[in-house]
Amino acid sequence: MQKFFVQRRIRFTYMIIFIGILLSGGCKTKEEKAPVKNDSPERPNIVIIYADDLGYGELGVYGATELKTPNLDKLANGGMRFTKGYASSATCTPSRYALLTGTYPWRNKSAKILPGTAPLIIDTAQMTIPRMLREQGYKTGIVGKWHLGLGNGNVNWNERIAPGPNEVGFEQSYIMAATQDRVPTVYIQNGKVFKLDPDDPILVNYDTNFPGEPTGLDNPELLKMKWHHGHNNSIVNGIPRIGFMKGGESAKWVDEDMADTFLAEAQKYVAAHKAEPFFLYYALQQPHVPRTPHPRFEGASGMGPRGDVIVEADWVVGEFINTLESEGLLENTLIVFSSDNGPVLNDGYYDDAVEKLGNHKPAGPLRGGKYSLFEAGTRVPFITYWKGRISPGVSDALVSQLDLLTSLANLVGSDKKGEDSEDLLDVFLGKSNMGRDQIVLEATSRTAFRQGDWAMIPPYDGPSINQSVNIELGNDNEYQLYNLEEDIGQQNNLAESHPLKLKEMIATYEEIRGNGTDNLEALELK
Ligand code: NG6
Ligand code: CA
């Protein structure tokens, strides 16, 4: 009899312990998603492929029917496709800053669209993805668009240009300084202008032209592409640019060859480093203006140059992945694909982007576009792929490019973190659906807030539409509140009907953003 009770007590004790284990970790709630340290760090190669101005609705897998993107569709179908993946900003420089540093761009006053002469905006002591990986023994390289500034404010383009990518963690760099529409229109390899003839030095100025040099404004007869707004300074290859440039003839890029040039450099990088873990940031220039497809892609989309360069971008991604495959690296490489901001049609040149769009919807079902606080500004294609490791699927978790730094650190066994970067490694690998709770989104120095299914845009002065690009910016003198689950197109402002939700979101937003209570008071006055 006593033995029976002892056995019952033991069973009871076991049961209590079991329940205790369950409560302490077995059943995780949303609040408890404290980062799980990765006990078995790995060292796969890591590649981030980053498009420029590619919208949420641009790929077949994201709903495009008029535009064919077979290679990116294949990548997405073989990996994890995120439906709520965000760039940090609706323009390039701030998004790229956030991607590399894991820090919100609005914390850095210089993180705005930069001219080609701007100084480097990443502190050379700051943690970045390449620096973190380099500390872990990775080889690190960048090929493509930089647009994070170079030098200290007074660059001599004829000498070594520093600081730049090589001073913030990249051992190798082959870049364009800013954008394809900004001077200097040359490639820069490890700080040196590529193929520069010392007898034909480069001069760059964003304020005044060099005497006697033609411009888009004064010499329309020299143009093969016409400017619509802005873009009427120096002419290079018949294309008028932003900023003035003189000299450097032998170093000037050929716009139509840019995709092939960057692809070849990316492939070279892989071949050179296939024996060691490497990180490559492959920053495509498409479909940013000026849209200059190689002649073999001209007409490929039936949508004019904008569609053609998206087809071209899809092709280079396919070729690049073929290289990884033929080098036997696909099972040992984590690929992340995304875009720096949402889509724009007319971004300053007459290139038929509007006229030949047909039924294509660059932003898919989203409202706004590049420069906008509405969803299309920052919600972008976001794909992770790792053959044999990421089971193909679609994830609705809220993720940001900000999160890559801390998540990749966890993957490779580093304890480095970005200031605003969450560890979502399991989410990126498709093993968890618990993404971020919230995110602050930026668009040309204004910010909005997403929390769960809700998006909140504070009141802003300024035009509701940017007439030049014909994009709704999200400015309104009232608060805007949208339930994205029910209203992905942000048509019904629920601010009036959901005052408590609005108040709660403003409070959290201001806590993160550090705006004080100005906006909250304004709300209460209403
Ligand atoms: C804008 C340019 C636009 C584009 C953008 C930067 C004008 C009128 N517009 O100022 O064409 O270059 O800057 O785009 O000059 S981004 O994707 O690099 O942020
Ligand atoms: Ca961009």
Q: For 122-169, what is each residue's pLDDT tens digit?
A: 999 999 999 999 999 999 999 999 999 999 999 999 999 999 999 999
**Cis peptide upstream of residue 184 (ω within 30 degrees of 0):** yes
CA of 41 to the centre of ligand 2 (A): 33
Query: How many other β-carbons are positioned within 10 Å of the β-carbon of residue 14?
Result: 10
Query: Which atom number of ligand 1 is nearest to the Cα of residue 468?
Result: 8
* pLDDT at residue 23 in the model: 44
Q: What is the DSSP string of 313-380?
A: HHHHHHHHHHHHHHTT-GGGEEEEEEESS---S-SSEESSTTTT-TT--TTTT-S--TT-SSHHHHB-
What is the set of domains in the chain, with CATH numbers? 45-196+254-438 (3.40.720.10), 203-246 (no CATH), 440-519 (3.30.1120.10)
* pLDDT beyond 60 at 523: no
pLDDT band at 519 (very low <50, low <70, confident <90, very high): very low
DSSP run (H or E) holding 456: strand 454-457
Q: What percent of the chain has pLDDT over 90?
A: 90
Query: Which atom number of ligand 1 is nearest to the Cα of residue 242?
Result: 15
Q: Does the C-beta of 373 come closer than 6 Å to ligand 1?
A: no
Tokens of 297: 């892609």
- Give me the catalytic one of 147, 231, 273, 360: 147
Count Cα neighbours of 380 within 13 Å in the Cβ-side half-sphere.
32
442-487 residue pLDDT tens: 999 999 999 999 999 999 999 999 999 999 999 999 999 999 999 9
Q: Which residue has the tokens 């078995």?
A: 40
CA of 147 to the centre of ligand 2 (A): 9
* pLDDT beyond 80 at 516: no
C-beta of residue 232 within 8 angstroms of C-beta of residue 197:
no
Q: Which residues contact 93 (CB under 8 A, 6 or more apart)?
A: 105, 111, 112, 113, 114, 121, 147, 148
Query: Which atom number of ligand 1 is nearest to the Cα of residue 349?
Result: 11
CA of 73 to the centre of ligand 2 (A): 21
* pLDDT at residue 328 in the model: 97
Q: String of b and e for 475-486 (b: at least 16 CB within 10 Å)?
A: bbeebbbbbbee
193-243 residue pLDDT tens: 999 999 999 999 999 999 999 999 999 999 999 999 999 999 999 999 999
Q: Does the C-beta of 242 come closer than 6 Å to ligand 1?
A: yes
Give catalytic status of residue 147 as yes or no.
yes
Residue to mutate (ligand 1; options 92, 239, 341; most atoms within 8 A of CB): 92
Q: Which burial class, exposed, middle or buried, applies to 268 when counting CB atoms under 10 A from its CB (0-12, 13-18, 19+)?
A: middle
* pLDDT at residue 30 in the model: 40
Give catalytic status of residue 92 as yes or no.
yes
Q: What would the mean pLDDT of 24-30 be, rounded to a whole number? A: 40
